[in-house]
């Protein structure tokens, strides 16, 4: 009697797929992919007359309302955590959400999506330079090399000798977003695991939305909306399609999957995988907007990401000094990049 055909290869492939997703890598890549759509959806709205402030406000308001439901469930019986962590939520909403995204969207309005995001990803380099200037202590060789590599990449991304001149104001907006990201890392360098990540994400979005609406009400922030159709790739779509993509895909699903990835991989490892967001953002901008940075800018982008990877690797391999025999262990000062967060303020 002939033997039944083996199903081992098929089962093995299915198991490998499950293991890949279960490891968190697949979830982290999905999070980067959907986060990478934010610039494309936002630019589609901006090109029909939306102001950056209006796009950010609509995004934050919609996402805050959706994420409020799981946040309330996470806080059942633990409402005191809001009182304990209100400063963290407030600062995350002001800097990591409202300011960071508003500056990024202003950059997107003047630059290509890829270039704007690469400028924001200079935040780790800004942290290194600031700590170097403040302590007058030269960084370790890997951090130093990564910083120089990223700065060289920045020169190529700006393509100062190219035929198309870069928008200086757009560059300043992108650098401002990077500064906000760096400030957020400084604020959250002290580890605090008492607040559920979904609550921090929802609370930060709610604070950010409130700040944006208040700024609009006082006349500080121009708010211009439009109901004109948007263009996504070859498709002409109603405005609400781009807005729904910005809220549901690029914010709600992105934050939730990012939190899941950080819990599965650890926040530091997940932060490495999140660097693929730049690649996804460039691909989405190419497919949906017809934007593609020049070859020299793509090379510069690779150098920036490579430099950031070196900086983060150096933080992971930094030696931890143990206390002398018989001495009490002193609290270790945590670098802003040594402690990654379950909720990163990505655009």
> pLDDT value at position 334?
54
* Average pLDDT of span 325-335: 49
Whether residue 208 is predicted with pLDDT greater than 90 in this model: the reply is: yes
> pLDDT value at position 195?
76
* Average pLDDT of span 293-316: 83
Cα-based torsion angle of the residue sequence 98, 103, 104, 110 in order, rounded to the nearest 10 degrees = 150
* Average pLDDT of span 264-285: 80
* Average pLDDT of span 141-155: 87
> pLDDT value at position 161?
63
Distance in angstroms (rounded) separating the CA atoms of residues 254 and 35:
5
Whether residue 305 is predicted with pLDDT greater than 90 in this model: the reply is: no
Whether residue 201 is predicted with pLDDT greater than 50 in this model: the reply is: yes
Lowest mean pLDDT among 53-62, 158-167, 196-205, 242-251: 158-167
* Average pLDDT of span 30-42: 92
Three-state secondary structure call for residue 140:
coil
pLDDT, tens digit (0-9, with 9 covering 90-100), for 64-110: 999 999 999 988 877 888 888 888 889 889 998 899 999 999 999 99
Q: How far apart are the first and last CA of the chain?
A: 62
Angle between helices 25-35 and 254-265 (to 10 degrees): 150
Angle between helices 123-135 and 168-187 (to 10 degrees): 70
> pLDDT value at position 333?
53
Whether residue 293 is predicted with pLDDT greater than 60 in this model: the reply is: yes
> pLDDT value at position 344?
61
Which comes out higher in pLDDT, residue 25 or 333? 25
Which comes out higher in pLDDT, residue 62 or 15? 62
Phi–psi pair at 190, nearest 5 degrees? -80, 120
Q: What angle (nearest 5°) sits at the alpha carbon of residue 270, between those of residues 269 and 272?
A: 70
pLDDT band of residue 327 (cuts 50, 70, 90) is very low
Distance in angstroms (rounded) separating the CA atoms of residues 11 and 17:
10
Share of the chain above pLDDT 90, in %: 33
């Amino acid at each position: 009697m002939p033997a039944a055909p083996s199903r081992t290869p098929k089962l093995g492939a299915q198991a490998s797929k499950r293991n890949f997703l279960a490891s968190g890598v697949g979830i982290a890549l999905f999070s980067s992919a959907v986060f990478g759509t934010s610039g494309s959806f936002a630019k589609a709205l901006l090109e029909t007359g939306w102001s950056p402030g209006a796009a950010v406000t609509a995004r934050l308001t919609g996402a805050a309302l959706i994420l409020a439901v799981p946040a309330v469930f996470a806080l059942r019986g633990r409402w005191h955590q809001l009182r304990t962590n209100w400063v963290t939520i407030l600062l995350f909403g002001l800097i990591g959400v409202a300011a960071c995204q508003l500056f990024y969207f202003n950059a997107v309005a003047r630059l290509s999506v890829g270039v704007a995001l690469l400028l924001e990803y200079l935040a780790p380099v800004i942290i290194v330079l600031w700590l170097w200037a403040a302590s007058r202590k030269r960084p370790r060789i890997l951090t130093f090399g990564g910083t120089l590599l990223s700065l060289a990449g920045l020169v190529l991304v700006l393509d100062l000798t190219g035929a198309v001149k870069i928008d200086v104001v757009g560059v300043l907006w992108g650098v401002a977003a990077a500064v906000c990201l760096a400030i957020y890392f400084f604020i959250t360098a002290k580890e605090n695991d008492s607040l559920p990540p979904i609550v921090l994400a929802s609370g930060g979005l709610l604070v950010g939305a409130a700040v944006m609406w208040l700024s609009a009400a006082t006349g500080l922030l121009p708010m211009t909306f439009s109901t004109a159709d948007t263009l996504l790739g070859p498709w002409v779509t109603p405005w609400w399609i781009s807005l729904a993509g910005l809220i549901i895909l690029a914010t709600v699903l992105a934050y939730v999957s990012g939190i899941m990835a950080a819990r599965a991989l650890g926040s530091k490892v997940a932060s490495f995988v999140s660097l693929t967001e730049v690649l996804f953002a460039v691909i989405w901008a190419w497919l949906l907007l017809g934007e593609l940075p020049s070859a020299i800018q793509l090379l510069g982008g690779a150098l920036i990401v490579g430099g950031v990877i070196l900086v983060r690797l150096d933080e992971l391999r930094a030696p931890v000094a143990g206390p002398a025999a018989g001495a009490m262990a002193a609290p270790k000062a945590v670098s802003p990049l040594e402690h990654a967060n379950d909720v990163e303020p990505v655009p």
